[in-house]
Amino acid sequence: MGTYGDWFIMLFAGCLAVVWLFRVFHRWLHEPASVKRLKLGKGGVLTEDDENILLLEQAGYEVSSGKHLVPIPIKLDDVPLGRGSRLYIDYIAEMDHCTYIVKTARDRMPMEWTASGVRDRLLVYSLLLPECDGILFVDAKEKVIRKITFHISDQ
């Protein structure tokens, strides 16, 4: 093989390094500067007898993680506002290579099924995790699963 083999290996390694550097630079260049991606951890413990999980599994969804707590520190005039707030994600479910945020119905907070009611209650979750394909609203009492997707347009 001799010197030609050594040069070939060096040229191949150099090409791989250039392609890798180009991809890293391209990704960095096209990512907004202020984006802070939320990465969910493992989530809460899933119980086998949870009626929401059973309803999702009957519909063909696979529940991949339990309850997530997302802390939201809030400042008012550069002063922390108490301990801030938090958002709860009840479950993360998957079906056909699509990932969904799951919110469950609550008796004390009924859902208003109007465009503005759905927006006010659920849009924040879609904006929080833009890589998810939608939100599933599960009402175990009514045995209903509703899929909500938001499409934000510039018009």
Percentage, residues of the chain above pLDDT 90: 36
Per DSSP, the three-state class of 62 is strand
* Domain-embedded: residue 132: yes
Give yes or no: residues 65 and 111 share one domain: yes
**Which conformational region is residue 84 in: left (phi greater than 0), alpha (psi within -120 to 50 degrees), or beta?**
left
Dihedral sign for Cα atoms in the order 74, 136, 120, 33:
positive
* Domain-embedded: residue 41: no
Confidence check: pLDDT of 1 > 60:
no
User: Is residue 132 within 8 Å of 144, Cβ to Cβ?
Assistant: no
| Residue pLDDT, tens place only, 54-113 | 899 999 998 888 888 888 899 999 998 888 898 899 998 999 988 999 999 988 988 899
* Domain-embedded: residue 46: no
Report residue 132 as tokens: 């998810």
Confidence check: pLDDT of 34 > 60:
no
* Domain-embedded: residue 85: yes
CATH of the domain at 87: 3.40.1350
Return d(Cα 50, Cα 22) in angstroms, integer: 48
Give yes or no: residues 21 and 81 share one domain: no
Q: Which amino acid is at 110?
A: P
- Structural domain including 105 reads 51-148
The whole-chain average pLDDT of the chain stands at 86
- Residue listed under structure tokens 């969910």: 40
Give yes or no: residues 12 and 66 share one domain: no
Give yes or no: residues 55 and 30 share one domain: no
User: Is residue 81 within 8 Å of 105, Cβ to Cβ?
Assistant: no
Q: What is the tally of structural domains in the chain?
A: 2
* Domain-embedded: residue 4: yes
Give yes or no: residues 62 and 16 share one domain: no
What's residue 39's pLDDT?
62
Return d(Cα 95, Cα 60) in angstroms, integer: 7
* Domain-embedded: residue 155: no
